Structure 1
Amino acid sequence: MKALVWHGKSDIRCESVADPVMEDSRDAIIRVSACAICGSDLHIFDGVIPEMQHGDVLGHETMGEVVDVGKDAGNLKVGDRVVVPFTIACGECFFCKRGFYSGCERTNPDRAKAERMWGHSPAGLFGYSHLLGGYAGGQAEYLRVPYANIGPIKVPEQLTDEQALFLSDIFPTGYMAAEFCNIQPGQTIAIWGCGPVGQMAIRSAFLLGAERVVAVDTVPERLALARDAGAETIDFKTEDVYDRIQALTAGRGADSCIDAVGTEPDTWSAAEAVVDRIKTATFLGTDRPHVLRQAILCCRNFGTVSIVGVYGGFLDQIPMGSAINRGLTFRMAQTPVQHYLPMLMDRIVRGEIDPSFVITHRATLEEGPDLYKTFRDKRDGCIKVVMTP
């Protein structure tokens, strides 16, 4: 089959690889009908994510048709159209039983590596390094889905692939980011990053009752899409973000702040951001947390900072004194997608949101390597890429 394969920093190729095979009675094999490039895939493209190996198949936003299924794969059958969560969960361990599927204790065969880095291991993920299981990803013609009795969810006939695809990751992640804020009527939510997850967070914040959403970015197309949803926007290259949020909130600060950017923010003029770049370039640091610092300072007393942007290691110069003295709450996670799937599927079916609004580029797998570069460089108005193998 054809797949997008990692061969090093900025080196992704469309190649022929072995077809997946059934390995367990709970497995399913799907023929991929749609897959996407996620913003977190760009961290792999940029060489930020450790434990990648030459030949790794990428991708964790995937859906398709079941073509083979094990006898213990729940109620799935050949011919079912399904969307696949990016988090792999057993459904039986301590965390899965409590709905914390992304903390699954059983699905990361590389858990010892993760424990050395983070203390404890999260769940395995599709297409996201040998720190998180080494599972082949779904930017391919076929995908093996382990624990298929827990992961995939059937897609109603009335929904198109493009409406359902983002239930695999970015819609649940954006929704979770807003849900973490415990939004009350009349509140203002500030969101850093108007990429795909940020766009989902903007719309989810309004769905959950926010009166006002303030979106921070600098890419014109992203800011325009945020305004289409009703958000007020701040271009961080032309305005001081802290001063603008203070002005918009009568000096109180945003009720909650969402970091939907993570470890690789765009170029910032702030001195500490320059220092972050120097530290990571000289291996004196692992992440560039400028957005998180700003979100903390822009959040009101006893507000919430919600973090869904990806960080991998250790963060320097975080203003914990500000957070502690002002009573901030931090909420963060890799999304337990299985927890959100049924409810968010219902929202799409009811017409409350159509996640396909975020798609700007449609392509084949063969065009994928070039579109990684387009997406990373924010060229050609690229916000979200969907590929149809």
Structure 2
Amino acid sequence: MTTLQQAYIVAAKRSPIGKAPRGMLSHTRPDDLLATVIRGALAQTPTLDPAAIEDAIVGCAIPEGPQGLNVARKGVLLAGLPDSVAGVTVNRFCASSLTTIAMAADRIRVGEADVLLAAGTESMSLVPTMGVSTSFSPAIFDGDENLGIAYGMGLTAEQVATRWKVSREDQDAFALRSHQRAVAAQDAGEFSDEILPVEVTRRLPDLAAAAQSGAADVLVAQRRFTLDEGPRRDTNAEALAKLKPVFAMRGSVTAGNSSQTSDGAGALLVVSERALKTHNLTPLARFVSFAVKGVPPEIMGIGPKEAIPHALKLAGLTLDQMGWIELNEAFAAQSLAVIRELGLNEDIVNPLGGAIALGHPLGATGAIRAATVIHGIRRRNLQYGMLTMCVGTGMGAAGIFERM
């Protein structure tokens, strides 16, 4: 019988999150951004020869257009890694890059690899949320059985709010707290360990020069992007209460209590114990367990309620052993429903704010928030942290990390 190895995280870096469609990263290609965070992760491990990386597993929720054509392999090559480093793109919607971490850990545990890259990238500015050419099977609309597959995410949040009796007032209060925590975290420098500053280049027409010479001159502007754009210092309960529902006429889900459309990328290096010794690497965390469970598509937001207990069972741990829970805030409605169903301690859920304030670049969110958990439990000397999220078409995913 093969003895399973442990899987360790030795690097975890992410870009700042840009607002879509007109934020700092709105003109940055997702394959270029992926290459940037890959280089950032490698810079954390100077003793590791990049040629030792055996594969790159990259999450992307809408792998089309500039993030299509196997964006994983493109990102690897653009990052300057050796041709020997392969790449594969994985799509599990919002849990895409949490799944890539789990897949990398699995291969290491069974001895198939010693050094793997797990990452995610998403540009919601350059690729529409529903993709370039969305197509549903006509069978989905034959009766009500599978109709939830075609529900927009906002409508599923309305379904959860109704079934779990989550009020508009509670959703808005949750959203406000997300912004307040995120702003406080930025002010305290809580994200400095995980964020990789990104140099953003913009090419704009030089109208003044063109007026004089008639030539189509271009201005090249460069800016250093260092902080997530989403958190709002000026938001308050009154402003949130004025927003109208956007998914149902008499609903409670608004733009203010929903996650922001965003652009971003994150990358982690996952290695075996053998690789730690061979390459003189220091582990940040151990990947403990992963679980994914399905729920009815029309209430997809409740997915973490099913995934969290299973991840805990696989780890042989209990909920009260978690020191940090990163619950992706797709919507305040589903976040509160999960918190109440499982009795989660709200003090440790998203202590630095969540996607309502920080943003949610779909397939990149797992890698981004994993970096938050890993650096967070190290900074606060906590033993275990969990990352969990709901997933489109009715799923929930959860992964557990242990500080080393």
TM-score normalised by length of structure 2? 0.27
Q: TM-score, normalised by structure 1?
A: 0.28
Between structures 1 and 2, the one with greater helix share:
2
